[in-house]
Chains A and B, each alone.
Chain A
């Protein structure tokens, strides 16, 4: 009796997956790595020097791989709470943190909907990026204003100037016309 059989290695043969046949596609694992990396870097920022850094690393990696909204919530809450507790008030890292938290939110929420393997087109990534920048165009001045308020303390004129500048900026953003598409 032949056991194990010579060709038994082929017993687990599976089909060949369908693959896209064009350029301009990014493998989804790149997006997963980017989401996990941003979360880990932000975690390293707020859990600086602590052994608890392992916790956000594991959770962020899990949120990037597993399609679980719970892990996404946990990742973001760990970052927000750790920032509120560990970071000193008026830290300039706020600007980075506001952008990073938003990026982790967007990427994790994108990955929650999708199977493990796949591709995303550069055009879709560009659309995500434009949407991200539109939000950040308001969020970043707001963060600057918050730092200003924190630093200036009781300097009311400075705060009022900052608020007026932010309102003007927001009004300009809302009031401007979207770029016209050429119809050919």
Chain B
């Protein structure tokens, strides 16, 4: 309904036609009142000849920094572009908004008017949350500009961090500084032995009490020798190949994309929590992805590195895997954590490979609490087969002694977990409340038994050498 290149709009044409009808019928029938009926339309047609809607009416969205989150929704501000405040605002602007998976809505405002808008955002990750476009009219509606689509509003939400976890570490720790004890002699706080002074021993290591006790004739000096301190390295490997939604009917959803929380959110949250746990203790953490689409984030430590990891995690989306020339090589003595939905053999193959090379490997199953909402028998069979295949892959890893823990529930993020779960009233199911994975997946859909905190605690206890402090 925009203006034609000649400057005439359908509204203006309609006013002219109706005015002509009124005038002609009034003149033919000799009735001045019928002619007067068309007076408003004649005036509109005359006014419409001169008026032109401004063709640069393009409001834009900006994120309102004052209150981003409101009840789990993002607050955006529909703001006009910067214009001269002295210019009178005499046009109308219609902003057509479309959230993912929703029919478009419209917001008609006076030109220059601001309006905050609440839109659903993802729990984590980088997605387009709102598509919009604008068109403008003159107040008498005889002229309208063409619809102007704007770039969609894209947000990036950093993954949340849950309660800190216990830290399983490798027996082959590297480095000469850190918070972990090692079995190597060196400069550390852990006492190894007390022995006579030898060439190369530092004088500050002399233990005068032991010397007085053991060297009765004062002919030799005793020194304290210690275990070296060491730091742990962790490599997080995230599987971007799949994002399995919690509701099984969404596995088959086609059409416009929707904001659905899936396994990738679980992977991001678990990875951020694991990274925060290790980095808080001064260890080094790196990040890689199974798809091999981006360069790996090298292992490093510090709070700034945690922010880098979270930003990289937020940018992860579903990317098809490409053939890699060679498998990723974790740093020596690193703990390798693979976060995946375990729908195909590739994560398991890499876990086995790194396990065979002597790394401590942990699989984190990120499939959320499933809500069985298949709509057809074919869909139900597909879901059962997928879960059966997953179960076989997980059992295979279990046979090889590789621990796989449940990463769908991260402690300290209960509200987040509740949002991921289905609304109980609608589906008739209840969200799990236990810390460990409950009997959430009937029959074939058996996942790991241990939750992320419990699994890491057990692995940390199991992997610790006797006599070495955690």
List residues of A whose CB falls within 8 A of some B CB: 1-3, 5-11, 13-22, 25, 28, 69, 72-73, 76-77, 80-81, 83-84, 87, 89-91, 94, 97-99, 101-102, 105-106, 109-110, 112-121, 123-124, 126-128, 130-131, 135-136, 138-139, 142-143, 145-147, 149-150, 181, 183
Chain B positions within 8 Å of A83 at CB level:
34, 37
B44 nearest in chain A by CB position:
A135
Closest chain A CB from B53 CB (angstroms) = 12
- Give chain B residues whose Cβ lies under 8 Å from the Cβ of A80: 18, 21-22, 25, 37-38
Provide the residues of chain A in CB contact with B140, threshold 8 Å: 106, 131, 135
- Picked from B29, B33, B40, B372, the residue with its CB within 8 Å of the CB of A91 is B33
Residues of A within 8 A of B110 (CB): 121, 123-124, 126-127
Is B429 touching A21 in the complex (CB atoms < 8 A)? no
B101 within 8 A of A: yes
- Supply 9 further A-B pairs (C-beta < 8 A) apart from A25-B107, A94-B37, A117-B103: A15-B120, A19-B105, A112-B1, A116-B103, A128-B92, A135-B43, A138-B39, A146-B35, A147-B36
Contact B428 A7 (CB under 8 A): yes
- Most chain B CB atoms below 10 A, which of A91, A102, A150, A181: A102
Residue of B15, B88, B99 touching A17 (CB-CB under 8 A): B99
Question: Which of B31, B33, B75, B106 has the largest count of A CB atoms less than 10 A from its CB?
Answer: B33
Decide: A16 and B14 in contact? CB cutoff 8 A. Answer: no
Confirm or deny: B468 has a beta carbon within 8 angstroms of a beta carbon on chain A. Answer: no
Measured between C-beta atoms, what is the minimum distance from A139 to chain B in Å?
A: 4
* CB–CB B380/A124 < 8 A: no
Among residues of A, the one whose C-beta sits closest to the C-beta of B426 is A10
Q: Write out the residue numbers on chain A whose beta carbons fall within 8 Å of the beta carbon of B377.
A: 1, 3
Query: Shortest distance in angstroms between A152's beta carbon and chain B's nearest beta carbon?
Result: 11
Q: Measured between alpha carbons, how far is A113 from B17 in the docked complex, in Å?
A: 19
Q: Closest 5 A-B residue pairs measured CB to CB?
A: A15-B101, A118-B106, A146-B36, A7-B373, A131-B139
Q: How many whole Å from B47's CB to the nearest CB in chain A?
A: 8
Evaluate whether A20 and B17 lie within 8 angstroms (CB atoms) in the complex, with A5-B373, A7-B373 already known.
no
A81 — which chain B residues lie within 8 A by C-beta? 21, 25
Report Cα–Cα, A1/B376, bound state, in Å: 11
B11 interface contact, C-beta 8 A: yes
Beyond A139-B40, A143-B36, is A13–B18 a contact (Cβ under 8 Å)?
no
Evaluate contact between A10 and B371: CB separation under 8 angstroms: yes
Q: How far is the CB of A8 from chain B (nearest CB, A)?
A: 5
Does B346 lie at the interface of the complex (its beta carbon under 8 Å from any beta carbon of A)?
A: no
A68 to B75, alpha carbons, bound, how many Å? 34
The number of residue pairs between A and B whose CB atoms lie closer than 8 Å in the complex comes to: 244
Q: 25 A–B contact pairs at CB < 8 A?
A: A8-B374, A14-B102, A16-B259, A17-B102, A17-B103, A18-B76, A18-B117, A19-B118, A21-B75, A21-B118, A22-B116, A69-B1, A77-B18, A89-B31, A94-B36, A105-B14, A113-B1, A114-B94, A114-B96, A120-B109, A121-B108, A123-B109, A131-B139, A149-B32, A150-B31
Interface SS of B by simple majority: mixed
Q: Kindly identify, within residues 135 to 183 of chain B, every residue whose CB is under 8 Å from any CB belonging to chain A.
A: 135, 137, 139-142, 144
Interface flag for B247 (CB, 8 Å):
yes
Out of A7, A87, A115, A143, which one reaches B427, CB within 8 Å? A7
Interfacial chain B residues near A76, Cβ < 8 Å: 14, 18
Bound-state Cα–Cα, A18 to B120, Å:
7
Residue B57 is within 8 A (CB to CB) of chain A in the complex: no
Partner of A118, one of B39, B105, B250: B105
Once the chains bind, are A113 and B41 in contact (CB under 8 Å)?
A: no
Question: Which residues of chain B come closer than 8 Å to A1, judged between CB atoms?
Answer: 377, 380
Nearest chain A residue, comparing its CB with the CB of B257: A15
Q: Is B454 an interface residue (CB 8 A)?
A: no
CA distance A5 to B18 in the complex (A): 58
Q: Would B36 and A11 count as touching, CB distance under 8 A? A: no
- Whether the pair B422, A146 counts as a contact (CB closer than 8 A) is no
| CB-contact partner of B130 in A2, A18, A135, A181, under 8 A | A18
Q: Which residues of chain A are within 8 angstroms of B380 by Cβ–Cβ distance?
A: 1-3, 5
Which residues in B have their C-beta under 8 angstroms from that of A73?
14, 17
Whether B249 pairs with A13 at a CB distance below 8 angstroms is yes
Instruction: Tell whether B70 is near chain A: CB-to-CB under 8 Å.
Output: yes
| Chain B residues within an 8 Å CB radius of A124 | 92, 108-110, 113
Min C-beta distance of B459 to chain A, whole Å? 35
* Cα(A183)–Cα(B107), bound, Å: 28
Question: What is the 8 Å Cβ interface bit string for chain B, positions 70-82, against chain A (1 contact, 0 not)?
Answer: 1001011000000
CB distance from B78 to the nearest CB of A (A): 8
A-side contacts of B249, CB under 8 Å: 7-8, 10-11, 13
CB distance from B48 to the nearest CB of A (A): 11
Nearest opposing residue in chain A for B120, CB measure: A16
- In the complex, which residues 323-352 of chain B have their Cβ closer than 8 Å to any Cβ of chain A? none
